[in-house]
Amino acid sequence: KDVVSRILVAKPSERLTIDEILNHPWVRENGDAPDAPLDNVVLTRMRKFSAMHKFKKMGLMAMARTMTKEEISGMKEMFKSFDKDGSGTITIDELQKGLQKKGAKTTSEEMKELLKSMDVDGSGEVDYEEFLAATLAVNKLKNESNLERAFAYFDKDDSGFITVDELMSVVEEFKLGNQMDVNQTLSEADKDGDGKIDYDEFLAMMRDKGEYSGKRF
Ligand code: CA
Ligand code: CA
Ligand code: CA
């Protein structure tokens, strides 16, 4: 009753955090919170993210950027639990310790690959937005309004299309300039070949490949 009543609180700031729930005596097992399943979820999401192409990663970053504080409330806690020194970025060392502490099984080789793939702007570390994009819950992509907002983030002049210039400007914003060929990226998503990306094409690109299909891990 104690746990449930403290979870069912309308105000997020007064609600128990995931860590607090996992450390509550009722949830603990043998005095050690069984948080491995939670973090395997994180690891699974990171793995899926690493398999995505840059445009989709950018789409997820745009989604993260356009979500409300409420929608991403739990994720800030998660980020902080990795960013031990509070620098605002996660280093390879912090990623390794964070995942290990949570019982996620992975090799240091994979860890390096994961960091590299989450580090969308190639700065060498994972910042908050990159982390958000990499660990967004799958159900966010099923939510039409999240995708509409992400599309609108690219479609700066609200014309209903993402043009090469608009794509270019978001690429610059996310500091991906030297990492992708904007024209080629656009043409891959431009299924009807009119030189720009409409909402349906954007949707198809974001929901592509089935990384997000079906299974809710
Ligand atoms: Ca840090
Ligand atoms: Ca980075
Ligand atoms: Ca098109």
Q: Which residue has the tokens 């603990």?
A: 28
Nearest alpha-carbon partner for 19 in 90, 136, 102: 102
CA dist 110 and 61 (Å) reads 22
Strand 89-90 and strand 197-198: the pairing is unpaired
Ligand 1 geometric centre to CA of 193 (Å) = 43
Ligand 2 geometric centre to CA of 213 (Å) = 27
Contact (Cβ atoms closer than 8 angstroms) between residue 60 and residue 146: no
Ligand 3 geometric centre to CA of 122 (Å) = 29
Return the minimum-mean-pLDDT range out of 51-55, 175-179, 190-194, 213-217. 213-217
The reported pLDDT for the residue numbered 19 is 79
Ligand 1 geometric centre to CA of 99 (Å) = 14
Whether 37 shows a pLDDT value over 80: the answer reads no
Mean pLDDT confidence for 34-52: 77
Ligand nearest to the CA of 131: 2
Rg, Å, the chain Cα set: 19
Most confident residue range from 53-62, 86-95, 97-106 = 86-95
Q: Which residue has the tokens 């994720």?
A: 75
Three-state SS for 175? Answer: coil
What sign results for the dihedral spanned by CA atoms 188, 191, 196, 198?
negative
**AA identity, residue 158:** D
Tokens standing for 92?
Answer: 């390879």
- In tens, the pLDDT along 113-131 reads 999 999 998 999 999 999 9
Contact (Cβ atoms closer than 8 angstroms) between residue 34 and residue 91: no
Whether 83 shows a pLDDT value over 60: the answer reads yes
Ligand 2 geometric centre to CA of 128 (Å) = 9
Ligand nearest to the CA of 89: 1
- In degrees to the nearest 10, what's the CA dihedral of 18, 23, 27, 29? 130
Residues with CB under 5 A from ligand 3 (ion): 190, 192, 194
The residues, any chain, with a CB within 8 Å of residue 91's CB and separated by 6 or more, are 125
The residues, any chain, with a CB within 8 Å of residue 146's CB and separated by 6 or more, are 63, 66, 67, 140
CA dist 137 and 140 (Å) reads 6
